[in-house]
Structure 1
Amino acid sequence: MQLFYNPSLENNNEEFFFPPEESKHILKVLRKKEGDVLNITNGKGFLFKAEILIADSRKCKARITSIKKTIPKRYKLHLVVAPTKINDRYEWFLEKATEIGVDEITPIICERSERKTIKLERMERVLQSAMKQSLQAFLPKLNPMISYQGFMEKEVKGFRFIAHCDDGEKMEFKRRAVADRDIVILIGPEGDFTKTEISEAKSKGYVPVSLGMNRLRTETAAIVACTTVSIINS
């Protein structure tokens, strides 16, 4: 099965057009033709089957033949992760976290962050591609990058954790994460969070946790956290 993405589709649509880039891919690369049936998601939980009516590589027209609503998970996972110095590593994290099952991602700038700019549109495309490849109906929400202080001022729902490598009392994340409950976890930059940042998070109700015995890269730590939550809820 191959899955396509069209965010403008709603469950009351009957006929629609694919944008030029998607139209060209469907007809020129995949060699689809009139009468062929495509599987599409709008990233909001709906899966559509649609028949190609007009095979125009600039404006492919299709008619919806069936609609299925996917039941959302019982919990939500929000990963708050500092961008990595090498951008490819962060994109790898976005791809794999989407495949595993993240719901929301917030890039965060910390005191020790080496990268302080990101290409949000490029990251959105990575998420879309991973969603389609893993045949999911929900597209993770990617928030604009925000400062650590700015995020601390936000009101967030669910169990809150901060993973860090600093000395001090910490619980194992796999023993603190709870099934069927919303989880927010902070993952710092390559140089880790500062003592001040850890202290502030604790004052806001974030529980310090360890992701294992080994020291992990930022992107690896985020994937371990994502996988842990997925396993707990499986």
Structure 2
Amino acid sequence: MPTFYAPDAAPGHATYLLPEDESKHAVRVLRLAIGDAVTLVDGRGTCYAATVTEANPKRCNLRILKEEVIAPRPTYTHVAVAPTKNLDRMEWLVEKAVEVGIERLTFLRCARSERRDLKLERLEKIAVSALKQSGQAWLPQLDELTDFEDFIAEIDPATTFIAHLEAGERTALAQVIGTAPRCCVLIGPEGDFTPAEIDLALDRGVRPVTLGASRLRTETAALAAVFTAQVVREL
């Protein structure tokens, strides 16, 4: 059944008008007709069962038949990652992280970052598309680029872990997450965090972790952290 993102849908409303771009997609691409069933999701936990009442490519009208509130996951996964110079790799990360299950994704500006600015509009659209494709009801929070020092000053060190490649004792992420309901994992740029950044994090009480024996690309490491958090908690 086709799913549409409806961030302005409100409980109790009997009808909903799709925006023009979604109306065009519904009527011209999906060939929806009057009486066809669709699903709306608002990204805040509510899904709506609806039917088409007006199949106009400029204004596709829907009748809302039923509402269902989906509870958020009992766990909260937050990954903070330094975006790569190639934005395609961050787009891939956003898509896959949303599909696997993530609550928040923060982009870090580190000393060795290749990308110093980032526009979220394209990434937000990809997150919405992944939300619809994976049948989820909660849209993750995407944060603007944040300086590493500012981010470290605000985190809860008890639930935060840093995956770095410097020498020193590190524990497998799967072993330290356990059944903790919340976690935040820091992933550095291609050149890794600097020793000064690692020291700053450790001084704050952030624990060092490893994601395995292989040296992973930034986006792969970030997705591995998301996947590890979900799998460990499910088991």
Show structure 2 runs of 5+ residues with no match: none
The answer as to whether partners of 2:158 and 2:205 remain within 8 angstroms in 1 is no
SS state of the match for residue 153, structure 1?
helix
Task: Show the counterpart of 1:84.
Answer: 84
Partner-residue secondary structure (3-state), 2:121:
helix
| 1:64 partner amino acid | I
SS in 1 for 2:93: helix
**Does residue 169 of the first structure (1) align with residue 185 of the second (2)?**
no
Paired amino acid for 1:95: E
Report the alpha carbon displacement of residue 24 of structure 1 after superposing the two structures with TM. 0.4
User: Residue 30 and residue 158 in structure 1: after superposition, are their counterparts in 2 closer, same or farther (change >3 A)?
Assistant: farther
Deviation at 1:18, TM superposition (A): 0.6
Partner of 1:167: helix, strand, or coil?
Answer: coil
Within 2, Cα distance between the matches of 1:161 and 1:125? 28
**Is the CA contact 1:159–1:181 (under 8 Å) kept in the aligned structure 2?**
no
- Give the deviation of 1:12 after TM superposition: 2.1
Verify the 8 A CA contact 2:83 2:108 in the aligned structure 1.
yes
CA distance in 1, matches of 2:123, 2:6: 17
Give the whole-Å Cα distance in 1 for the aligned partners of 2:162 and 2:155: 15
2:179 is aligned to: 179
Shift of 1:178: 2.1
Q: Distance in 2 between matches of 1:158 and 1:98?
A: 25
Offset at residue 183 of structure 1 (A): 0.4
1:94 aligns with 2:112: no
**What is the Cα deviation at residue 103 of structure 1?**
0.6
For residues 1-234 of structure 1, what are the structure 2 equivalents within 5 Å?
A: 1-156=1-156, 159-234=159-234
Distance 2:58 2:203 in 1: 55
- Indicate if the aligned counterparts of 2:18 and 2:59 stay in contact, CA closer than 8 A: yes
Aligned residues: 234
Where does the alignment leave 5 or more consecutive residues of structure 1 unmatched?
A: none
SS in 1 for 2:200: helix
The residue type paired with residue 24 of structure 2 is K
Larger CA deviation: 145-154 vs 18-27: 145-154
Deviations 1:33-72 (A, max 9, x none): 1111111100111111111112221111111101111121
Q: Distance in 1 between matches of 2:219 and 2:155?
A: 25
Distance 1:93 1:207 in 2: 24
Q: Distance in 2 between the 1:16 and 1:3 partners?
A: 13
Q: 1:75 to 1:142 in 2, by over 3 A?
A: same
Distance 1:37 1:158, change over 3 A: farther
Deviation at 1:153, TM superposition (A): 2.2
> TM-score if structure 1 supplies the norm length?
0.96
SS in 2 for 1:106: strand
| Residues 182 and 214 of structure 1: CA distance in aligned 2, closer, same or farther (over 3 Å) | same
**Residues 1:220 and 1:137: Cα distance change in structure 2 (over 3 Å):** same
Contact 1:158 1:182 in 2 (8 A): no
- 1:222 aligned partner, one-letter code: A
Instruction: State the identity as a percent.
Output: 39
